[in-house]
Amino acid sequence: MKKLDYFIIKLARKNIIKLSDKKFLDICFRYYLHKKIDWNNPKTYNEKLQWLKIYDRKDIYTKMVDKYDAKKYVANIIGDEYIIPTIGIYNKFDDIDFEKLPNKFVMKCTHDSGGLVICKDKKYFNKKQAKKKLEKCLKINYYNCWREWPYKNVKPRIIVEKYMENKDTDGLNDYKFFCFDGKVKLLFIATDRINEHDETKFDFYDENFNHLPIKNGHPNAKTPPKKPKNFEKMKELAEILSKGIPHLRVDFYEINGKIYFGELTFSHWAGMVPFEPEKYDMLLGTWIDLKKVGKLK
């Protein structure tokens, strides 16, 4: 059954076979989490994320996950000062005039996760390799991967941003706040994200910044990250941005003492990665009130 599920998922992602969103998610959930979704009475966090993919669909969500449009959306709510400057937005790679770009910059696709290219010095920038990666990403319909509805109608483009760096440390810590109808209940800090010689680390904390023994997709850091200077302000901003939404992950960076917006995510890990210990999957599930969406009785 497991091998059959794998091939069905693979063929469905390529549109070789057609499956309804529900059927596709049923098979994915069984394959990746070895469980069955109870659509009538979902309880765990991962289970409820699948439910939300089907029943919580609003046009504004498309703008909120578009890496270019999201900046305007967020700026209109909390202000431009939290937005990483955009250098350019392009429909295709060949539209980019690299002579006009600064020596350092970041390139990413607006519609996916993973289409990222970092240039720290144009003198050594491998344009051919960047073109190959980004053009491949532009062809991917990210919605097909996990049936995350907000990504379905995002226009595939390339955004070039200012390269951001902390003066005193290597790399950027990513602060990801789990919000439930405008209330932060949990966060994790992603470290070692661009370290070629080590795996990314995830460390989870409660809303009061107490470290939690949770593993989810990546191991904990050997030395847990310290509390960011602007922790309370980031919490405040995350709650403003997530108000009225059953569940939203709001990501920020803290760079040289300032807060910068990262992205908005409706389905952490697409709801397809287990929590260790498993009890946290159930705990997070209790924080999502599906009745407010209007489909669950």
If phi over 0 gives left and psi between -120 and 50 gives alpha, with beta otherwise, what is residue 177? beta
Where are the alpha helices (H) located in 139-230, listed in sequence order?
Answer: 142-146
Q: Which structural domain range is residue 8 located in?
A: 1-36
Whether residue 264 contacts residue 249, with contact meaning beta carbons closer than 8 Å, is answered with: yes
Partners of residue 254 on adjacent β-strands = 259
Grouping H, G, I as helix, E, B as strand and the rest as coil, residue 155 is coil
Whether residues 283 and 186 fall in one domain: yes
Whether residues 67 and 145 fall in one domain: no
Whether residue 13 contacts residue 25, with contact meaning beta carbons closer than 8 Å, is answered with: no
Which run of H or E residues covers position 254? strand 248-255
Angle made by CA atoms 207, 213, 218, in degrees to the nearest 5:
100
Grouping H, G, I as helix, E, B as strand and the rest as coil, residue 282 is helix
Whether residue 237 contacts residue 259, with contact meaning beta carbons closer than 8 Å, is answered with: yes
Whether residues 248 and 280 fall in one domain: yes
Residue 170's pLDDT is 65
Residue type, 230: N
Whether residue 169 contacts residue 271, with contact meaning beta carbons closer than 8 Å, is answered with: no
Residue 88's pLDDT is 98
Residue 49's pLDDT is 98
Q: pLDDT tens digit string along 52-89?
A: 999 999 999 999 999 999 999 999 999 999 999 999 99
Whether residues 129 and 192 fall in one domain: no
Whether residues 229 and 137 fall in one domain: no
Hey, how many other C-beta atoms are within 10 angstroms of the C-beta on 275?
20
Q: How far apart are CA 184 and CA 178, in angstroms?
A: 6
Residue 195's pLDDT is 63
Whether residues 45 and 74 fall in one domain: yes
Q: How far apart are CA 250 and CA 292, in angstroms?
A: 20
Whether residues 71 and 121 fall in one domain: no
Whether residues 266 and 182 fall in one domain: yes
Whether residue 53 contacts residue 184, with contact meaning beta carbons closer than 8 Å, is answered with: no
CATH number at residue 223: 3.30.470
Whether residues 45 and 192 fall in one domain: yes
Whether residues 186 and 274 fall in one domain: yes
Total domains, the chain:
3
Count CA atoms closer than 13 A to 93's CA, side-chain side: 18
Residue 114's pLDDT is 79
Last residue of a domain, one of 117, 144, 163: 163
Whether residues 198 and 269 fall in one domain: yes
Hey, how many other C-beta atoms are within 10 angstroms of the C-beta on 64?
20
Residue 1's pLDDT is 78
10-residue mean pLDDT series, the chain (297 residues): 93 97 98 97 98 98 98 98 98 97 98 91 96 96 96 97 87 93 97 77 97 97 94 98 98 97 98 98 98 73
Residue 108's pLDDT is 97
Whether residues 126 and 77 fall in one domain: no
Residue 294's pLDDT is 73
